């Protein structure tokens, strides 16, 4: 074994699991945004588009993040002298996307309840 991981498979598995997570959150956001925007045609098109673009950005950031991680692990060898994890931009953007889903859904529920 030439590094502190199992021949490159661990970063690949982590990248694939993040991709599945981002795709699931993106699909859920697009569906929710489409549902929330039914009463307003502009929101019905704009919100899913924003969700889709956000998901694509997260996928790109994730791919770059795990490529950097793999390169840093390979460069560090079997005994890294410092942490090799890249930044947390992807995690922060995913959390922001989930927060926006929650806030939008709550606003939709409150507005719908007040109309009745």
Question: pLDDT digit of tens for each residue in the chain (116 aa)?
Answer: 455 555 556 777 878 888 898 888 888 877 877 777 777 777 777 778 888 888 888 888 888 878 877 777 777 766 666 665 656 777 787 788 788 878 877 887 888 788 87
Work out how many domains the chain is built from and give that number: 1
59 assigned to some structural domain = yes
> Residue 70: inside a domain, yes or no?
yes
In a domain, 19, yes or no: yes
Domain hosting 33: range is 9-115
C-alpha 39/C-alpha 37 separation (Å) is 6
* Structural domain includes residue 2: no
- pTM reported for the whole predicted model: 0.64
> Residue 26 domain-assigned?
yes
Within a domain: residue 4? no
């Amino acid at each position: 074994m030439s590094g502190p991981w199992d021949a490159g498979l661990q970063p690949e598995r982590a990248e694939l699991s993040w991709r599945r997570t981002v795709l699931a959150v993106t699909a859920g956001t697009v569906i929710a945004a489409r549902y929330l925007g039914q009463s307003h045609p502009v929101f019905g098109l704009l919100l899913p588009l924003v969700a889709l673009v956000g998901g694509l950005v997260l996928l790109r950031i994730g791919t770059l993040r795990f490529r950097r991680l793999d390169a840093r692990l390979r460069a560090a060898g079997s005994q890294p002298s410092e942490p090799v994890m890249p930044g947390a931009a992807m995690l922060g953007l995913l959390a922001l996307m989930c927060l926006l889903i929650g806030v939008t859904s709550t606003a939709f529920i409150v507005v719908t309840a007040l109309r009745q």
